[in-house]
Structure 1
Amino acid sequence: MTDVAAGSGWPALRVDDWEPTRRSLHMWTQIVGKVRLAHAPMVNHWWQVPLYVSPRGLSTSAIPVGTGSFDVEFDFVDHVLSVRVSDGGADTIDLRDVSVAQLHAALLDSLGALGIDTSISKGPNEVEPAIPFVDDNHAGYEPEAAQLFWRQLIQADRVMGQFRARFVGKVSPVHFFWGSFDMACTRFSGRPAPPHPGGAPNCGDWVMEEGYSHELSSCGFWPGGGAEGAFYSYAYPEPDGFADAAGCPEGAFYDNGFRQYLLPYEVARQAADPDALVLDFLEFSYGAAADLMGWDRRALETDPQRWAHKSRLS
């Protein structure tokens, strides 16, 4: 594990070096995500359930409750889970030396004490085995590892946000899905897609059918692939020829098992210009999918600097 000073760039974090913390965070984010799912109104593609990178860690953003709102945030600076309510109520749970079962109980108790009655499903999704939260005694949290993970997410969120800004069609926020434990941003052509076959462990096929209801090109960062995680990009439905598209950036490749393009995080981190390499990878993989699927790219894409000359004069 390699430490870095705050703000110094792309940190190194080998997946094998932080597995206990990674497993804790995966289960904890599922618990917090399910709290958001229990209260937020349905949005297409499940966009009401992800978490978001914040200046302190990962946040639900505001969740409606009654005539007010609340949020839940993993604070990887002070290493607490914070609950804040619009009526002024607040609570924190220390993340150190807490098992999955203990955090599950503490969060639901905290919400109840703050007047937010909450019921969530008993176990995690998209993992096997799916141990019920109340029975999961796994404990493992290294503050240093959590901070390095969060700094990885800051970089991914920042660069993927630049990529998102180049699209004026239907596009998701850059958000963190707790089921698959990855950051994602998805562009859509506007056309419906064939029903997704599903198959994710401990996750109803109808969940995937909603998520993939329309033709898409999706990219993201998964802190579990490769030595230090990986950026990824795929298309649904995948067009013929996608795996063999010309122009793949050096260091990236198509993985036949995952059926997506991958750029190992360590390749990006060690590049002379990590931002440029990741953006090249995202543009290449999206462009290959969009061209092969016949998207109207002139109508869907834009220059995020299109008003810069005006703002300089104002």
Structure 2
Amino acid sequence: MTGEHEAGARSTWPALRVADWTATRDTLHMWMQIVGKIRLAHAPLLNHWWQVTSYVSPRGLTTSAIPCRSGVFDIEFDFVDHRLVVRASDGGVRTVALEPKPVADFYHETMQALRELGIPTKIQPSPNEVEEAIPFAEDYRHDTYDPNAVHLFWRQLLQADRVLGEFRSFYVGKVSPVHFFWGAMDLACTRFSGRAAPPHPGGAPNCGDWVMAEGYSRELSSCGFWPGGGEEGAFYAYAYPEPDGFADHPIAPREAFYSKDNGQFLLPYEAVRTADNPDRALVSFLQTTYEAAAVHGRWDRAALEDDPDRWAPQRPRHRRQQGQEG
């Protein structure tokens, strides 16, 4: 990679100091919990709570289509125009401005938008996985919204989602989508060995242990990005159950380390952002930490991994045949 191309690659990974947007992040976290709980109220259970997540979109984060009666609706955080957009399959649309406002106001406005669209919804009206669970309707403490910071956060997610998606493509066993969990506010992708796991002990604040039991019901290796920890957030990787030797497995890049306090490997976001080749630095972290789980957990890697380009030699010929037929 030339110096010019290296500089271009680095510039797509934006800098955003956690300390510079903590108040906004915490407000946004509560808003995301409200939207996530709306999806939870309507979508049927999928293994490991996959039905409650959001996904990185060209404008922000979207729930994708949510079933409701005989139709569907979706909700998108638009971090370009800074509005929450609720769209129903009957053509109805409502928006809620993303601007400095208390969680209580956002909650009432969002639920009112659903009522106007004929989407009756009842959610558990307080947050999960946070130490102090202020009911949404009573939360006037979190009221900060910096649109520039949120836009930068979305650009961080765009890059993380892209690389995690490529990493995911090498796995043909059971693997989650790259999706955003509103409980801990992290982007994640999880690979599974195919074996059952021991019951998870739980312990997340303001969250039933049974929730974690479902999330961790199968042996797994998970990785992702969290906008906390370190100066600019952190990439993480962990295994459940953690096999012997996992924490001591050699990993890359050199800035990565195992945190005993967190029970996982961490890689500061800024180490990726400032690397000569950010994509390569992150992929090395994802691959070596996965190998720590797969090697020490004795996963059947030959059955679980494959080259995503395995059909590449046939694809050009297939396109030529289509062209001739047309």
* Structure 2 residue 231 is the aligned partner of structure 1 residue 227: yes
2:75 matched residue in structure 1: 72
CA contact (8 A) 2:199 2:216 kept: yes
The 5 Å alignment of 1:67-216 reads 67-137=70-140, 138-216=142-220
Give the 3 Å change call, closer, same or farther, for CA 180–311 of structure 1 in structure 2.
Answer: same
SS of alignment partner, residue 129 of structure 1? coil
Q: Distance in 1 between matches of 2:112 and 2:244?
A: 51
**Which of 293, 297, 304 is matched with 1:289 structurally?**
293
Deviation at 1:291, TM superposition (A): 0.7
Q: Distance in 2 between matches of 1:27 and 1:41?
A: 23
Give the 3 Å change call, closer, same or farther, for CA 129–219 of structure 1 in structure 2.
Answer: same
CA contact (8 A) 2:251 2:289 kept: no
Q: Distance in 2 between matches of 1:196 and 1:236?
A: 9
* Structure 2 residue 58 is the aligned partner of structure 1 residue 55: yes
CA contact (8 A) 2:257 2:265 kept: yes
Deviations 1:86-110 (A, max 9, x none): 0000011111122111010001111
C-alpha RMSD of the superposition: 1.2
Q: Distance in 2 between matches of 1:247 and 1:40?
A: 38
Q: Distance in 2 between matches of 1:20 and 1:247?
A: 33
Q: Distance in 2 between matches of 1:213 and 1:71?
A: 29
Identity of aligned residues (%): 64
State which structure, 1 or 2, has the greater radius of gyration over its C-alpha atoms: 2
Find runs of 4+ consecutive structure 1 residues off by over 4 angstroms.
Answer: none
Structure 1 runs not aligned, ≥5 long: none
Deviations 1:269-292 (A, max 9, x none): 000000011011000000111010
AA at the equivalent of 1:58: L
Q: Distance in 2 between matches of 1:67 and 1:285?
A: 44
CA contact (8 A) 2:188 2:223 kept: yes
SS of alignment partner, residue 189 of structure 1? strand
AA at the equivalent of 2:31: W
AA at the equivalent of 2:298: G
1:17 matched residue in structure 2: 20
AA at the equivalent of 2:299: W
Q: Distance in 2 between matches of 1:112 and 1:18?
A: 32
1:238 matched residue in structure 2: 242
CA contact (8 A) 2:187 2:226 kept: yes
Deviation at 1:123, TM superposition (A): 0.5
Deviation at 1:20, TM superposition (A): 1.4
The 5 Å alignment of 1:294-305 reads 294-305=298-309
Q: Distance in 2 between matches of 1:69 and 1:262?
A: 38
Q: Distance in 1 between matches of 2:39 and 2:64?
A: 9
AA at the equivalent of 1:24: T
Which segment drifts farther, 31-40 or 98-107?
Answer: 98-107
Residues matched between the structures, number: 309
Structure 2 runs not aligned, ≥5 long: 1-7, 320-326
Which segment drifts farther, 304-313 or 197-206?
Answer: 304-313
SS of alignment partner, residue 69 of structure 1? strand
Deviation at 1:8, TM superposition (A): 4.8
Q: Distance in 2 between matches of 1:26 and 1:80?
A: 15
SS of alignment partner, residue 102 of structure 1? helix
